[in-house]
Structure 1
């Protein structure tokens, strides 16, 4: 599935430099969502060390190469010597991005949706969080995301579908802090005003 081995050390180095330049930020962003920032740089370095050693195995297609590297990143995180579950850090960090002031009804609606997601997200299993994150945050296709988690594209599509249903269910059933009212009831009340 990889490319042909580069003919010379210069070709190998050139290919690695191009791969590094085109994927570094995606790999690091993927890792930062799953690990403490102080650990992310080390994990990223480990991923690219594996990439250098196994350069001949990395697919030539940019999207497939990215998926391959994210798969290595995922395994590196799972095998981390620190022994902590890295996927607990995958919870949405929405509160950090909330606007300081809410000026319009549109801003209020965006703020409400973010708060709803912040409440519903941690209720998802780590498997569901990962499936949604690979598509929504990492911008992978279902086939590429399947490569990352090591399953078939069909199995990943099924996993993603279940994850989306679970998220919708949690959004519909979760009261926003302080309101005591499930989201679907608030939305119905807004529509009837």
Structure 2
């Protein structure tokens, strides 16, 4: 294989990886760092991926999880020396001034969830986010955190239990949709 073919193959492999994961990794970082620095952090993660292209897992899902872990490490490096301001804040969408009963109930649920979320430890927020927002299976979520899938499942169980406790101990708890708390 010539050098030109090798370079083209590497570029094609990187392009596929970029197409597969860029948007997901960007959202992943935006939820953790906000929109201001997210693109820079994601580009740094993809630079690491380019440099270590031969080290990436062969399966697309595993490579995606590897990128999540790399992006997370880039974010942590970026945040080092700063006090964390509450990782993964749940953003409550702005509502119109008039609500139907269903909209009012949904708004109350979002407010309760946002308040409960902020009371969780950042570690619990991270574990829940990998399961809920990133939709990663336990093996890949464990890979992102650098732990086994069994350890991740234990942490996820405890995080869900903590979130349920925070929701139940709210002054006026609203029922939460079951999909958030199911395994």
* TM interval, short-chain normalised: 0.7 to 0.9
Deviates most, 32-41 or 143-152 = 32-41
Structure 1 gaps of 5+ residues are: 1-6, 176-181, 188-193
Contact 2:57–2:66 (Cα < 8 Å) also in 1: yes
Give yes or no for the alignment of 1:160 onto 2:131. Answer: no
Deviation at 1:104, TM superposition (A): 2.9
CA deviations 1:5-28 (Å, max 9, x no partner) are xx7111110000010011001111
Matches within 5 A, 1:33-182: 33-80=31-78, 83-85=81-83, 88-94=86-92, 97-175=93-171, 182=172
Check 1:91–1:101 CA distance in 2 against 1; reply closer, same or farther (3 A cut): same
Q: C-alpha separation between the residues in 2 aligned to 1:52 and 1:173? A: 47
**CA-CA distance at 1:60 after TM superposition:** 2.1
Asked whether the equivalents of residues 34 and 86 of structure 1 are also in contact (C-alpha less than 8 Å), the reply is no
Listed as ranges, the gaps of 5+ residues in structure 2 are 176-183
Q: CA deviation at 1:102?
A: 5.0
Contact in 2 for aligned 1:142/1:153 (Cα 8 Å): yes
State the 1:58 CA deviation: 1.3
Query: Residue by residue, what CA displacement relative to the aligned partner does 1:43-67 show, whole Å, maximum 9, x if unpaired?
Result: 1111000000111111122221111
TM-score between both structures, scaled by the size of structure 2: 0.86
Asked whether the equivalents of residues 58 and 68 of structure 1 are also in contact (C-alpha less than 8 Å), the reply is: yes
Report if aligned partners of 2:87, 2:122 keep a CA contact under 8 Å in 1: no
Structure 2 vs 1, CA of residues 54 and 92 (structure 1 numbering), >3 Å: closer, same or farther?
Answer: same
Moved more, 103-112 or 67-76: 103-112
2:140, 2:89 → 1: CA distance?
22
How far did 1:126 drift?
A: 0.4
Equivalent in the alignment of 2:30: 32
Q: CA RMSD for the aligned pairs?
A: 1.8
CA distance 1:87–1:73, shift in 2 (3 Å): farther
User: How far is the alpha carbon of 1:103 from its aligned partner?
Assistant: 3.8
SS of corresponding position for 2:86: helix
Paired positions, count: 171
With the length of structure 1 as denominator, give the TM-score of the two structures: 0.82
